[in-house]
Structure 1
Amino acid sequence: MKKRTTARDYPRTARLNTLVRDILARELGRIDDERLEFVTLTSVVVDGDLKKAVAYYDHSRGDEADDEVAEAFDEHRSRLQRSIGREAHIKRTPELRFELDGVLRNAQHIESVIRTLPDLDPGATPVEYDPELYKPDPAADDD
């Protein structure tokens, strides 16, 4: 029989990260600001001492809207922080900082680069690694 997962089996900081992300997501849904539409909170990292928390986000409005979204988060930061203090029931409310999460954009960029590569012939023989070709040049060490 599988052991039931309890709160003790789940590290405190991971629980806090999830809790703060959920609170922020709910509060973002209540904020009526078109600059924050189509914003996704990708993760939240709360320091173990509860002094700081970084909320990583991304949006689908394009690179030109990055500054606008960051400005909106700055304007609503105190409201979002208050909602954490009100709902989280933790010793102290961490100071919030919002950062753009570039992981999804980097992945999309890598995918677009890969798509531009020419298709390889599936019947082609793979090139064998020849260690003789990659031996260091002893004359280069004399410099």
Structure 2
Amino acid sequence: MGHRVNRVGEQMKKELGDIISRKIKDPRVGFVTVTDVQVTGDLQQAKVYISVLGDEQQREDSLKGLAKAKGFIRTEIGQRIRLRKTPELIFEFDETMAYGNRINSLIHELHREEQLGEEEQEKKDTD
């Protein structure tokens, strides 16, 4: 059963990306990328993880636009993927990119502080 759930999730990810980029005409929905789809074992719900290019306002607007279009998107999915019942869609931000960027900037910050500390130490040693 796990294999089927994964297959449905992958298929939904592909179709959702296409539907959102080509069929959604809501001006609030910006440049949205579907990063992952997690389908429950009973195929009743699908968490759709998205990333949105832009600031916090654009992210929020895109999420609102997608929530408004949920019925339409679900109907489209139902026509493209043959399932007895199309899963309910739940849109969420994929925070892994932001988290990764935050970790990256912290590492760079530490590295910069370390270099400054070494340079100061060298100065003291030459004085």
Q: TM-score, normalization: structure 2? A: 0.80
Alpha-carbon offset, residue 13 of structure 1 = 0.9
1:75 is aligned to: 68
Superimposed CA distance per residue, residues 90-126 of structure 1 (whole angstroms, 9 cap, x where no aligned partner): 11111111011101001111111111122355xxxxx
* Residue equivalent to 2:114: 119
When Rg is computed on C-alpha atoms for both structures, the one with the higher figure is 1
| 2:48 matches 1:50 | no
The amino acid that maps onto 1:28 is: I
Partner of 1:17 in structure 2?
Answer: 9
Q: 1:25-44 counterparts in 2 under 5 A?
A: 25-30=17-22, 31-44=24-37
Where is the helix percentage greater, Structure 1 or Structure 2?
2
Give 1:43 shift: 0.2
Q: CA RMSD in A?
A: 1.6
Query: Deviation of residue 29 (structure 1)?
Result: 1.6
Q: What is the CA–CA distance in structure 2 between the aligned matches of 1:110 and 1:65, rounded to whole Å?
A: 23
Between the aligned residues of both structures, percent identity stands at 28
| Structure 2 counterpart of 1:109, one-letter code | R
State the alpha-carbon separation in 2 of the partners of residues 78 and 113 from structure 1: 41
Q: Which runs of 5+ in 2 are unaligned?
A: 119-127
Query: Are 2:44 and 2:88, in contact at CA under 8 Å, matched by a contact in 1?
Result: yes
Q: What is the Cα deviation at residue 85 of structure 1?
A: 0.7
Match of 1:132 in 2: none
Partner Cα distance (2:30, 2:15) in 1: 17
